[in-house]
Structures are given as C-alpha cells and as structure tokens.
C-alpha cells in the first residue's frame, strides 16, 4: 500500500554562472497520514528547497527539477500544472508555515483582512461568512481577544502572535498536509515551546500530516515520530526519533547531537572545517568526517537499513554493526 506522501528519486538543481549545480537528491522519503516527520540539517542542506519544490514554488527559471516523483494521496504533484497547483493543492490540500512571519504577512493589511483574502479565494466565502471563519481560526490558534486581534496590523503583534496568525492562514482552507519550515527560528525559547505545542495539538486534533523542518535535533526529538537527517541535499540517516537520538549511526548526526548543550558547564563540540580533500565520487561528508577512511572516497554510500527500521548512509557504521 502506497504511503500518503512519498518522494522517489527527486533531483533538483539551480542554474549558476558556473553551470547547473545539484542541490537536492532524495532517493526515497515517505510520510504516513497523520504522521509528523522531522527533517533536520544545517543551513544550506536543502530543506527549504525541498519544501518549495513540494509546493511547486521553486523559483523559475533558476530552479530545475531534473527527475523524480512527489506523491500526495496517490497524485504526482510534479505532473500538475501551475493552475492546478494554485487552485487545488496549495492552500486547500497543502500549506506552509514560513520561517519569518513578518516578511510573510503584508504590512498594509490587517490580520483579519489577510485571513479573509485566503478564505475568499479558496473557500468561496464572502463578507460576514468569511469574517466569522477568520475569527474561528484566530480562536483555534489560541490568540487572545480575537475581535481586537482581527483589526490589528502585523507590526502591532509580537513574534509569537504573528506566527500563530501564519498558522491560522495555513490551516484556513482545510489543508491536510502542512510543511513547517523552522517555524520557531526567530522566537525566544519560551515562545518556541508554545508554538510547538500548538502545532502538535492541531496535528493531533485535525489529523493532518506534518513535515517539520528544523536545524535542531532536540526539537524533533520531542515533536516528531520519525526523523530524516539531510546533508548536502541527501538523506544520510533516517529512523524513529528515539532511535536516531539514542544511537546516531552517521558521523554527521553525531555531530549535530553533540552540538546541543546539556548544561552550562559542558563544552560544545563542533564539526571541523574542511580537513581532507573532497571525495569526488565518495561520501559527501568525507571532507568533514573525523573518522573517514579511504573506502569512503571510492564510492558514495547508499541509505540502507542497518538496525530494524533505522537507516544510514555510512560504510563505517555498517562495518561496526556487521
């Protein structure tokens, strides 16, 4: 039985002055209906590019989809026209929470007007009916004094309040697949916790599927059932959040976890800069890997199951577990 959401052999690149550069190469990724999948990687790993590709928002003509399939409930999104994506999929079936709500919201319209515009476009509700629905959404994301909030402009809200408005807009038309692209990145720790709790509650109550993008492994550990580690556009490890945190198999995952402070006195460990020559045909992490060996330069390791459903793309991890 096919998964609710599935990616197969997706390859994405960008045109540059130096030629076409591949930035995303995902062999296989699945998300079940109602599941929260965490995608973790450092800045530049390709996380946002993947999100934009799924939604059909990859910038043209710079962005190029070389090959692949993106299936949502039995439909290949890459075969849909822009008109179909805008009318049927973006907003109604899929939605995205962006990193920076201030740049996402329009500063010249009130919060209520911006939610109403989305509802009128996709739900065909007008006037008072659209306003009532907008107020219901503000209540759903637990904003206080919703009638007063309805009339405010984005600059009058706090960062956490603006992010809740973005979540309300994302879910305003009944989207069943939500992409959250580092939704707590620009918020302080206490506000982050509230936003994560809200998304978790909405995911459970509305039974939506969530692709949660982050650069902090600690966030996905408490929020996501399954996690994939992305490095240079490729999945290098995947498994249940508990398994990946408890026993990280890939050196890159180990580095990400070791960079999370556990106490004020603990010294953080960071990945070294380039310490070896690039492996032209080998493991993409070889140049930074502290335990890399010559075998890592000969061919690129494939993502494969090493322990039950725990996958990793690492020759050394495979050798240790053999």
Tell me the pLDDT band of 54, cut-offs 50, 70 and 90: very high
The arithmetic mean of pLDDT across residues 96-103, rounded, is 84
CB atoms within 10 A of CB 193: 13
Summarize pLDDT for 269-285 with one digit per residue, the tens: 555 545 555 556 789 89
Considering Cα of 43, then 46, then 51, then 56, what sign does the dihedral take?
Answer: positive
Residue-averaged pLDDT of the chain: 89
The arithmetic mean of pLDDT across residues 160-187, rounded, is 90
Residue 266 has what pLDDT? 61
Return d(Cα 94, Cα 174) in angstroms, integer: 9
Global pTM reads 0.91
Share of the chain above pLDDT 90, in %: 62
In contact, 93 and 177? CB cutoff 8 Å: yes
111: CB partners within 8 A, 6+ apart: 105, 138, 149, 150, 151, 152, 153, 154, 157, 165
Summarize pLDDT for 291-303 with one digit per residue, the tens: 888 888 888 999 9
- Chain centroid to Cα 244, Å, comes to 17
Sequence ranges of the domains in the chain: 248-321
Tell me the pLDDT band of 84, cut-offs 50, 70 and 90: very high
Summarize pLDDT for 238-271 with one digit per residue, the tens: 999 999 999 999 999 998 888 777 666 666 555 5
Residue 267 has what pLDDT? 61
């Amino acid at each position: 039985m096919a998964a609710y959401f599935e990616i197969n052999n997706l390859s994405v690149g960008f045109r540059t002055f130096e030629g076409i550069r591949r930035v995303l190469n995902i062999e296989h990724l699945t998300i079940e209906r109602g599941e929260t999948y965490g995608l973790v990687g450092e800045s530049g790993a390709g996380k946002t590019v993947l999100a934009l590709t799924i939604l059909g928002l990859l910038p043209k003509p710079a962005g190029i989809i070389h090959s692949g399939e993106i299936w949502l409930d039995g439909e290949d999104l890459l075969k849909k026209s822009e008109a179909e994506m805008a009318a049927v999929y973006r907003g109604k079936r899929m939605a995205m929470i962006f990193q920076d709500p201030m740049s996402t919201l329009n500063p010249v319209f009130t919060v209520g007007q911006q939610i109403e515009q989305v509802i009128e476009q996709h739900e065909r509700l007008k006037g008072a009916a659209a306003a009532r629905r907008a107020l219901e959404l503000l209540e759903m994301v637990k904003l206080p004094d919703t009638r007063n909030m309805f009339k405010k402009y984005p600059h009058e809200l706090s960062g956490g309040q603006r992010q809740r408005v973005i979540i309300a807009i994302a879910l305003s038309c009944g989207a069943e697949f939500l992409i959250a692209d580092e939704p707590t990145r620009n918020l302080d720790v206490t506000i982050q916790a509230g936003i994560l709790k809200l998304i978790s509650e909405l995911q459970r109550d509305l039974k939506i599927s969530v692709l949660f993008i982050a650069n902090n492994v600690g966030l996905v550990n408490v929020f996501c059932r399954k996690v994939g580690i992305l490095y240079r556009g490729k999945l290098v490890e995947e498994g249940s959040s508990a398994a990946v945190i408890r026993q990280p198999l890939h050196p890159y995952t180990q580095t990400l976890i070791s960079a999370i402070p556990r106490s004020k006195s603990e010294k953080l460990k960071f990945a070294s800069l380039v310490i070896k020559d690039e492996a032209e045909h080998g493991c993409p992490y070889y140049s930074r890997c502290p335990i890399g060996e010559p075998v890592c330069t000969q061919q690129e390791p494939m993502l494969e199951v090493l322990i039950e459903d725990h996958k990793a793309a690492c020759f050394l991890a495979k050798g240790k577990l053999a």
